[in-house]
Amino acid sequence: MSKVIDFQTDPSKYRHWRVEYDGEVANLFMDVDEKGGLFDGYELKLNSYDLGVDIELADVVQRMRFEHPEVKVVVMQSAKDKVFCAGANIRMLGGASHAHKVNFCKFTNETRNTFEAAEADSGQKYVAAVKGACAGGGYELALACNHIMLTNDSSSSVALPEVPLLAVLPGTGGLTRVTDKRKVRRDLADVFCSIEEGVKGQRAADWKLVDEVIPNSKFDETVQQRAREFAAASSKPSDLTGIQLTPLQRSFDDDGSVTYSTVEVELDRDNGRAFITVKGPEEGAPANADALQAQGDQAWILRAARELDDAILHLRLNERELGLIVLRTQGDPERVLEHEKLLLDNADHWLANEVLKYWKRVLKRVDMTSRSLVALVEHGSCFAGPLAELLWAVDRSYMMLEEFEGDNRPLATVSLSASNFGTYPMGNDLSRLATRFLGDPDAVEGLKDRIGDAIEADEAEELGLVTYAFDDIDWEDEVRIFMEERASFSPDAMTGMEANLRFAGPETMETRIFGRLTAWQNWIFQRPNAVGESGALQRYGTGIRGEYNMERV
């Protein structure tokens, strides 16, 4: 599977989803094209999905937020008879590389987290209207909705049948949402996850697997009625007008480097590195929220978020041997703060709020990326506001100290804003600064006094905002030695170390999902029980169960 995967799409290209807008309610239909797999060798039967299906869903969810802010309730449902969704396509998993399976599961969970948070972040409530079989990853789609409705008939059920049917990956986010979100009793969850047929009717509601069960004869009518009730109860303003998300401006060089309007991605394949440079705004911020809306998706602060998001996803899936991502910025930090201040001052405006929430999601995407991450705070950089968050998302940061010979750019600085203290929380629900200084909360409080200051290297190092500060004499050697050392380490060891160190502090549903996802996938997906000649993925659909090594380890 060496095909280059493009995460950009739009409704005119959808093959698997369609949306019908009805005022404050959007009806989202899953109608997967069996012949529309991202790769050859499998059919997407029974509304099963692969990465291509999820790329479209992620686009639907993003456009719902920006292009259709008038929507208050999204009803997720199937357009196929007697099946809601059969989950991830097993043939696809059987033929996929290990790395593709891992990245696929990570992306699907990030997409589910996005629509799961849409009610709190954007006033858009997702309702799952389940008719027919809703199994495995299909039930995970429903679990990420804010409300689940199940029709009461002989064929409709919810199920996580991974253990009895396949035994490859018993729930990526599903098990955690069953226990942590829906608060299903542990012993009942054990029964639920151990049976092929799933749970139907009133028992599903009694066990808290769904929120309500509706007679089949009244189901469609009740779903729309409930959607209207939820919309009427919403505190979100009515009659909002969205903006259009136009295609990203980007070009690919022969060596694979990518140039966007605000982001550049340079590749150094010989040394296993990628350099991402984010360019700050060239113009001042829009005058007010109305001017921001008039700029639409061309506003720098939204454009930069979209382009950085795409760059990270591109490197994750398409450049898997580049183990080190180097993050740099160039521009005027005061202008970055000015653009962000417009959002913070107008956070009650729907678009300003959406852009802030999108930056939160993009920065989480950086946190979750299984690559070594380093930031270089060079002269002329603009690590301020949302871009300053990158300094605390990375594993290490290096900052230029004092003037460098022949370099007439402004001295390197770090600039804090009010947003750095909670606007962009990590998956652990703490700010990156609170996570960084977990053992010294007074340090975080003290940093609030420095909001708006341009903090130079010696002080930034003393305050703990960067790892090291080096002068002209030592800079090149120290950075080179770090990069060469990183390239010499085992990538598996790096992934394990970095994923463990990045999420200090309290456990949340999100950290539990991704923490276990990393460990489970990298172990279970490699085991002969899953991928061996007689393993579950190879024998799926043959009528012969996989042969398992029964040793517990």
Asked if the structure places residue 155 within a domain, the reply is yes
Asked if the structure places residue 196 within a domain, the reply is yes
The CA distance from 219 to 227, in Å, is 12
Q: Dihedral through CA 457, CA 460, CA 464, CA 468, nearest 10?
A: -10
Asked whether the CA dihedral 285, 289, 291, 296 is positive or negative, the reply is positive
Same domain, 150 and 196: yes
Residue numbers of the domain that contains 407: 251-501
Same domain, 78 and 227: yes
pTM, 2 dp: 0.95
Same domain, 202 and 275: no
Span 414-418, average pLDDT: 98
Asked if the structure places residue 154 within a domain, the reply is yes
Same domain, 285 and 191: no
What pLDDT, on a 0 to 100 scale, did the predictor assign at position 354? 98
Query: Which residues partner with 274 through β-bridges?
Result: 267, 325
Same domain, 168 and 294: no
**Average pLDDT over all residues of the chain:** 94
Asked if the structure places residue 41 within a domain, the reply is yes
Which tens digit of pLDDT belongs to each residue from 438-479? 999 999 999 999 999 999 999 999 999 999 999 999 999 999
The CA distance from 470 to 478, in Å, is 8
What pLDDT, on a 0 to 100 scale, did the predictor assign at position 171? 63
Query: Which residues partner with 75 through β-bridges?
Result: 27, 127
What pLDDT, on a 0 to 100 scale, did the predictor assign at position 174? 86
Span 315-325, average pLDDT: 95
Which tens digit of pLDDT belongs to each residue from 24-41? 999 999 999 999 999 999
Cα angle, residue 348 at apex, residues 347 and 349 outer, rounded to 5°: 90
Instruction: Read off the CATH number of the domain in which 414 is found.
Output: 3.90.226.10
What pLDDT, on a 0 to 100 scale, did the predictor assign at position 553? 64
User: Are 342 and 353 a contacting pair, CB within 8 Å?
Assistant: no
What pLDDT, on a 0 to 100 scale, did the predictor assign at position 170? 61
Which tens digit of pLDDT belongs to each residue from 520-537? 666 677 778 877 888 877
Same domain, 229 and 292: no
- Which residue intervals of 490-535 are DSSP H helices? 491-501, 509-524, 528-531
Asked if the structure places residue 162 within a domain, the reply is yes
What one-character-per-residue DSSP string does 321-361 give?
Answer: T--EEEEEEES-HHHHHHHHHHHHHTTTSHHHHHHHHHHHH
Same domain, 77 and 106: yes
Which tens digit of pLDDT belongs to each residue from 187-239? 999 999 999 999 999 999 999 999 999 999 999 999 999 999 999 999 999 99
What pLDDT, on a 0 to 100 scale, did the predictor assign at position 524? 72
Which tens digit of pLDDT belongs to each residue from 71-106? 999 999 999 999 999 999 988 988 888 889 889 989
The CA distance from 310 to 9, in Å, is 11
